[in-house]
Amino acid sequence: MSAFVARPTKVQSLLTSQGVEDINTVSSFLASPSHAFDRLHPAHTVYVLIGSAILPTAEAVFDHVSDSAYPITLVLAGGIGHSTSLLYDAVSRHPRYSLIASRVQQLPEAQVFKLLMVEFWPDLVDKLNNGTLTLLVDDRSANCGGNAIEAKRELDYHGVKPKRLFIIQDPTMNRRTHATFKKVFNEDEVEVLPWSFFPKLSLSDDGSVAWEVQGQKMNKRELWEPARFVSLVLGEIPRIRDDAVGYGPKGAGYITHVDIPEEVEQAWRRLNNALESA
């Protein structure tokens, strides 16, 4: 399935109160389900952080692992794909991480995240050195299916048999990633637990848009350009539909079945129709 790309000029036509509401309806569905990080069964819980340009996902994982008093296994997943350059850009725009912008160029996504961890979370380096953090790196996978396959390969190779698997990904891909990992790990006795946050667009009186997460304003540099966000959100629904052209069992078979609520489908159709008529 080819990538869905919404041109910035067309995206502007969606930035109405109804359009923003529909975008948030679809994106909230894609970002769910989300399970809060916890301290249950730490010896049997593994965290898989998947590369993306949305750096708050990495920050959330690294902070959680830093706060843990128990040994943790963390998998960093992601090679070089079609959107890896956006991760380089995100690092270069960041007020702190830009210090290593020149060093991340040409690195696989997992290696970018590893470099961020080593440079900006020194306590995690201590955990690596004293053995309370086990770090596995998949820097080969270039898509969602590859992330799951290579993460499983790393765990199997190192003899790690988790009972719980936290999956952390760009919120717009959370739903598909969850279904992909369930497909790949379907023969393992493991509970796949996606973690995400819920970004919301808000519309100002002057027609500009801003980001909110849990009621807090977010810096635009940390998230998506609106045109890219809309492209990702609208492009995901056809992929996760369980029909002849989707990724589900009735189509390509890459993911497990996903039920899409009718209100989400209606919001998607309104947005798609508005783009086509723009």
Q: What is the percent of the chain with per-residue pLDDT over 70, rounded to a whole number? A: 95
Q: What is the C-alpha to C-alpha distance for residues 180 and 48, in angstroms, rounded to an integer?
A: 13
Secondary structure letter of residue 225 according to DSSP = -
**What is the per-residue pLDDT for 45?**
92
Q: Residue range 119-130: average pLDDT? A: 96
| Angle between helices 122-130 and 109-120 in degrees, nearest 10 | 100
Lowest mean pLDDT across 84-93, 142-151, 196-205, 209-218: 209-218
Q: Mean pLDDT for the chain?
A: 91
CATH number attached to the domain at 42-195:
3.40.50.620
Give the start-to-end residue ranges of the domains of the chain.
8-31+201-277, 42-195
- Number of helices (H), then strands (E), belonging to the chain: the values are 11, 8
Give the list of residues 6+ apart from residue 56 with CB closer than 8 angstroms, or none.
197, 213, 222, 223
Q: Residue range 211-230: average pLDDT? A: 80
pLDDT greater than 50 at residue 2: no
Tokens representing residue 60 in the block = 């959330």
Higher pLDDT, 218 or 266: 266
pLDDT in tens, 9-33: 577 778 888 999 999 999 999 999 9
Nearest-Å Rg of the Cα atoms of the chain is 19
Give the list of residues 6+ apart from residue 188 with CB closer than 8 angstroms, or none.
152, 161
Tokens representing residue 105 in the block = 């160029």
pLDDT in tens, 177-212: 999 999 999 988 899 999 999 999 888 777 778 888
Q: What is the C-alpha to C-alpha distance for residues 47 and 76, in angstroms, rounded to an integer?
A: 8
**What is the per-residue pLDDT for 1?**
52
**3-state SS assignment for residue 140:** coil
In DSSP terms, which residues pair with 202 in a beta bridge? 210
Q: What is the C-alpha to C-alpha distance for residues 49 and 111, in angstroms, rounded to an integer?
A: 12
Are 265 and 257 a contacting pair, CB within 8 Å? no
**What is the per-residue pLDDT for 264?**
98
Q: Residue range 117-137: average pLDDT? A: 96
**What is the per-residue pLDDT for 102?**
97
Tokens representing residue 249 in the block = 């069992």
CATH number attached to the domain at 8-31+201-277:
1.10.3620.10
pTM: 0.92
Q: Residue range 3-11: average pLDDT? A: 56
- Our measurement of the distance from residue 184's CA atom to the centroid of its chain's CA atoms, rounded to an integer in Å, reads 17
Higher pLDDT, 157 or 210: 157
**What is the per-residue pLDDT for 222?**
77
**What is the per-residue pLDDT for 270?**
94
pLDDT greater than 60 at residue 3: no
Are 119 and 100 a contacting pair, CB within 8 Å? yes
